Each structure stands twice: as structure tokens, then as C-alpha cells.
């Protein structure tokens, strides 16, 4: 299996409706159609929409991840439901459910009862390297798949901003603190037969397993920005 495809296919859940882009539904749908039609469109996963906005999508066929700010209806397009911090009651409509809770105390990960986790990597409160490393290890130990969101526009850590290749490498390889803190793009290598960080690596089959069982995707208000950075690194 091509490690690039395993690592990047449907990696980005397109959250153009959410800050900082905060597009209108019409503009977000147009942008989503554009990025999916590009030659790198295979990197795009679900379109992220609030439950309160679902009716504005019409009958457009697209895979959805729905943020539960209201009751989530029965809709065949919905592949995942995201329970935000503001929603303290988990009411699963029977689909893949991602629960977001404060990252500081990880005891809640043991109480998910089949649900998945969601971790916020940017925004008003950016988790430290140590906090994010502990979250990844705990999810791995418990067998809890997770998705990430916010602040992951760059493949590699930039200043205080976490990088999505750092996150994926930490999930695949371990060495969580060191990997997450690394700001050197040349430390990461993603080619057809290998995903590696500073000499530690794995093949496409391992990356695909991690994408199924641990880090499933990350939400970003922009698809184009991560794609442009990956092209600059000669990965895409």
C-alpha cells in the first residue's frame, strides 16, 4: 500500500463553515466542490456542518460529519456526529460519534462506551506538547479512535502551532513528545513505501492501520492551505 495514500486519503474533514473561515453555507459548498474536484481531492473527507444548518444543504450528495448543536436527524449522508464541549449529554444517533471534552483530565476517555474522541489542537486554548502526547498515548492504550480539529493548517509544527504530520507520526511511531515538538520539515519523510521521522519509520500498511484505529482525520476550515504546504514539501 502506498504510504502517501494511506496517510493522506480523506485525512481532512472540511470545516469551512467554522472559524476562522466562517463561510456562508453557499460559499462553503462552492469551496468544497472546488477542492474535491482538484487532482488532490482525494485528501478531502467529510464536510463538517452544524446540525442546525443541515436543512440548508438541500439534497446535495456528500459525506457529512455533523456537530450536534441541535437534534441530529436521520440522514443517510451522515457518517459521523461530533459532540462539542457545550453538549454535556451524549445522545448517539447510532453513527460514529466523536466526543470532545477538556484535554487536561483524560479520565473521560475511559467512559466513552464505544464512542470516539475529539481533540482540539488550536483556537483559544492550545494544548501543550505534553498534553497532546498524553492524549495520544491514552487513546492508543484504550483502543479509542480520535479525530483532531483546529490549528492544524501546517504539516509540521510552526512555533506554537501543532503540525498534522507531527500528529500522525506520533500516532504511528510513538516518541510522542519528541515528534510533536519537532519543527524541522526535513525530519519527516512521506514517500510511496515509507512514512518516517528521523530514521524511525513504518510502511503503508501500518499507516493505514493507524488511520483506521487511532487517528482517523482532522478538521480544518481550509483544505487548500494544508495541500499547498504539502506540495511545498514535495509530498503531493
d(CA 175, CA 194): 17
Q: Using an 8 Å Cβ cutoff, are 183 and 22 in contact? A: no
DSSP 8-class letter at 70:
S
Instruction: Output the tens digit of pLDDT for each of the chain's 236 residues.
Output: 899 999 999 999 999 999 999 999 999 999 999 999 999 999 999 999 999 999 999 999 999 999 999 888 889 999 999 998 877 665 554 568 999 999 988 999 998 888 999 999 998 889 999 999 999 999 999 999 999 999 999 999 999 999 999 999 999 999 999 999 999 999 999 999 999 999 999 999 999 999 999 999 999 999 999 999 999 999 99
DSSP 8-class letter at 128:
P
- CATH number of the domain to which 161 belongs: 3.20.20
Range of the domain at 137: 3-232
Provide the domain count of the chain.
1
Amino acid at each position: 500500500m502506498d504510504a502517501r495514500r494511506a496517510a493522506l486519503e480523506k485525512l481532512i474533514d472540511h470545516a469551512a463553515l467554522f472559524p476562522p473561515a466562517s463561510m456562508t453555507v453557499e460559499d462553503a459548498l462552492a469551496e468544497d466542490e472546488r477542492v474535491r474536484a482538484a487532482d488532490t481531492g482525494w485528501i478531502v473527507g467529510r464536510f463538517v456542518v452544524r446540525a442546525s444548518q443541515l436543512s440548508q444543504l438541500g439534497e446535495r450528495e456528500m459525506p457529512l460529519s455533523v456537530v450536534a448543536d441541535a437534534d441530529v436527524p436521520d440522514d443517510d449522508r451522515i457518517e459521523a456526529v461530533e459532540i462539542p464541549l457545550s453538549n454535556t449529554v451524549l445522545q448517539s444517533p447510532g453513527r460514529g460519534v466523536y466526543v470532545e471534552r477538556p484535554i487536561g483530565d483524560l479520565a473521560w476517555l475511559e467512559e466513552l462506551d464505544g464512542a470516539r474522541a475529539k481533540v482540539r489542537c488550536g483556537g483559544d486554548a492550545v494544548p501543550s506538547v505534553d498534553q497532546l502526547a498524553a492524549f495520544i498515548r491514552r487513546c492508543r492504550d484504550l483502543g479509542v479512535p480520535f479525530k483532531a480539529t483546529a490549528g492544524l493548517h501546517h504539516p509540521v509544527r510552526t512555533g506554537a502551532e501543532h503540525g498534522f504530520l507531527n500528529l500522525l507520526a506520533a500516532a504511528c511511531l510513538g516518541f510522542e513528545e519528541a515528534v510533536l515538538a519537532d519543527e524541522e520539515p526535513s525530519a519527516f519523510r512521506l514517500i510511496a513505501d515509507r512514512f518516517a521521522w528521523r530514521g524511525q519509520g513504518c510502511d503503508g500498511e501500518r499507516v493505514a492501520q493507524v488511520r483506521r484505529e487511532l487517528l482517523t482525520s482532522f478538521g480544518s476550515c481550509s483544505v487548500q492551505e494544508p495541500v499547498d504546504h504539502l506540495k511545498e514539501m514535495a509530498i503531493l
